[in-house]
Each structure stands twice: as structure tokens, then as C-alpha cells.
Amino acid sequence: MGSRANSCAHEDSDWDILVFANSRVLTQLQQKEEFKQSSKDLNIDLLILYDKDHFEAPWTSWDCGRTKQRIKKGTLSEWNFKPDRSNPNIGHYKGTHIPTSSSRICKMYRIWAVEQGWIVYRDEEL
């Protein structure tokens, strides 16, 4: 998701990754300093979907590894997230930080999944 998935990335753009997990995984990541440092070093903006709708970054975000920011959190419903019914590996959401438009419809790509890792696309409960 983000600028790299939507053809508007710059050379120093981060990699935005949304992980479908649970609150236990979020808590475990929050306690692992080595993952936080790796995320910063690799320029990854990681978000954990910990229930059917809510996501949160496990750590304070970094602006391209330089400026400390607040912890990101929100909901898929705020993003107006919708699965692509013709391709189970793509979802769409309302982009708010894409430079071309404050209401652009953006793509989200599934890059890896386990059997229950993409449940939102099948409209089932977690």
C-alpha cells in the first residue's frame, strides 16, 4: 500500500506494510526493540491490523528515518477499504497522503498470506 504500490513513490519513500494479525502480535512487536530498529533501518512503515477494523503502528513512526512522529493508528472503515472482487490479491482504499489528491482511490496488494491471513477479503470474521 502507500506510494510504492500506487506509482507515486520517490527514491526515499518508505515501504508501507499492513499486517493482518491480532492484538497479541501488536503487543509482542511493541516490546521488541530490535524489530523497531530494523524497521527504521529498512525504511518500513509497519501497521498491524489487530481486529476486523483497527490498525496501529507498533512503534513511533519515522519520517524517512530522520524525524520522530506519533504512533499511527486508524481503521479500515475510515480508509473506506473495499476488496477487489475480481482479484483476491488487491484491495482499494481512500488515500489521504497521496500527493495528487486527498481523495484518490489507492490500491493495496497482498504480498503474502496464510490460510486465514486475508480474512477481510472473504468477508468472514477474524
Find where cell 468472514 sits.
Answer: 124
State pLDDT tens for residues 110-126.
Answer: 776 555 444 443 333 32
Averaged confidence pLDDT in the chain: 76
- Give the model's pLDDT for residue 124: 34
Instruction: Give the global pTM.
Output: 0.72
Beta strands in the chain (DSSP E): 15-20, 44-49, 54-56, 62-63, 67-68, 73-75, 82-83, 90-94, 105-109
Has residue 73 got a pLDDT over 80?
A: yes
Query: Has residue 54 got a pLDDT over 90?
Result: yes
